[in-house]
Amino acid sequence: MKKIEAIIKPFKLEEVKEALADLGIEGMTVSEVKGFGRQKGHTEIYRGSEYTVDFLPKIKIEVVVADSTLDGALSAIVKSAKTGKIGDGKVFVSPVDEAIRIRTDETGDKAI
């Protein structure tokens, strides 16, 4: 099992969610985050003084998938989240040691 963490632009959430659903991946955790990469921030003015805002609103999607569906899920996410413009985000993959479905006590691939 692998955990995919994708940081994407907020308005892309629906598209990414549907792209994953098309592959049969229907569970995920979503959080509203702020962050920056090489995009840097922008300058704002408040009551006459300039300040730089580095952190931009993003959405973080966390989804755990079986090894067999990893590649499909990755390309689905990248394809649906891409705009080609700066700030599109990043995807990270990490291994998962165990997964348990609380309701049924199922473990492993059966739990995701």
Partner 1 sequence: MKKTTLIKSGIAALAMAASGLFIPTPVFAQEAAAVVAESATVVVETPATPQEEPSPVEKYWDGKTGDLAMFTVNNLWICIAAALVFLMHLGFSCVETGLTQSKNTTNILFKNVFIVCMGLLAYAAYGFNSMYPGDNWTLSGFFAMGSPIAAGFTEADAQVANLTSEYNAGYTYWGDFIFQAMFAATAATIISGAVAERIKLGPFMIASTIIVAFAYPITGSWEWGGGWLSENFIDFAGSSLVHAFGGYAALAAVIVLGPRLGKYLPGGKIKPILGHSMPLATIGVFLLFVGWFGFNGGSVLSADAPLVSLVFVTTALAGAAGGVAAAFTSWALLKKPDLSMSLNGMLAGLVGITAGADSIAPWPAVLVGAISGVLVVFSVLFFDKIKIDDPVGAISVHGICGNWGTIAVGIFGGGTFMTQLIGTVSISVFAFVFSLITFLVVKAIFGLRVSAEEEEGGLDIGEHGQEAYPDFVPNK
Under the rule (CB under 8 A), what is the footprint of partner 1?
9-11, 32, 34, 42-46, 53, 85
Minimum distance from residue 101 beta carbon to partner 1 (Å)? 29
For partner 1, the closer CB: 28 or 70: 28
Sheet strands side by side (includes 89-95): 29-35, 56-65, 2-8, 89-95
Q: Do 6 and 34 meet the contact criterion of CB atoms below 8 Å apart?
A: no
Minimum distance from residue 22 beta carbon to partner 1 (Å)? 16
For partner 1, the closer CB: 11 or 38: 11
Say which residue the tokens 């098309």 belong to: 22
Q: Do 28 and 60 meet the contact criterion of CB atoms below 8 Å apart?
A: no
Minimum distance from residue 44 beta carbon to partner 1 (Å)? 5
User: Which helix (H) or strand (E) is 16 found in, with range?
Assistant: helix 13-22
Minimum distance from residue 78 beta carbon to partner 1 (Å)? 19
For partner 1, the closer CB: 11 or 103: 11
For partner 1, the closer CB: 38 or 42: 42
| DSSP code of residue 102 | T
Amino acid type, 49: S
